[in-house]
Amino acid sequence: MQDLTEGLAHFQQDVFPAKAELFARLATTHRPQTLFIGCSDARVVPELITQREPGELFVIRTAGNLVPAHEALAEDAGVAASIEYAVAVLGVGDIVVCGHSACGAMTALAARQDLAELPAVARWLRHAAPAAASRHEPATLIRGNVAAQLANLATHPAVAHALAAGTVTLHGWVYDIPTGTVERIAPATGRSAVLAA
């Protein structure tokens, strides 16, 4: 906890004063342009990877960057509520689903690990079932999972409406931790291309 309190003190003494004007504006304005759905993994920091300032990304982080399909709303309403708010209220124009290398969730699925001792994790990972249906090595599963989560995302009414109106664009990314590269994943096919190096 000491490192967190030291970081907080640094933020309050050095970082916040340098960005005081930005934070004053953010106190009354919340207009992010992008919804970024990424993994809970501590090694994947959306604002760092994209070099965005506070207020520029609306972020949802879930284990395995999973997005439950709309029909799973009763059990996973928190993720759905955040998606709906970002699209219908904030009016984001872009949604990124970002997977990453060495993802523990995808590694567990690829290895068909016994998750009996982790029942909540096992229930959550069922949202990756379309990608995990065929046995793949982890890197292929990570890419396929991003494409599957984009498909799940499109089942949400607010997203479907925005897609039909042409007011939102879906993007799939896979971030490679050791190199910093990002691959773009095609929503329907799961094919990839390097986006940035």
Helix (H, G, I), strand (E, B) or coil at 196: strand
List the helix and strand counts (H, then E) for the chain: 10, 6
Residue spans of beta strands (DSSP E) within 1-131: 34-39, 57-62, 94-100
In angstroms, rounded to a whole number, what is the distance separating the alpha carbons of residues 98 and 95?
Answer: 10
- Which residues are known catalytic residues? 39, 41, 43, 100, 103
From residue 149, how far is each of 41, 155, 169 by CA, in Å?
17, 10, 14
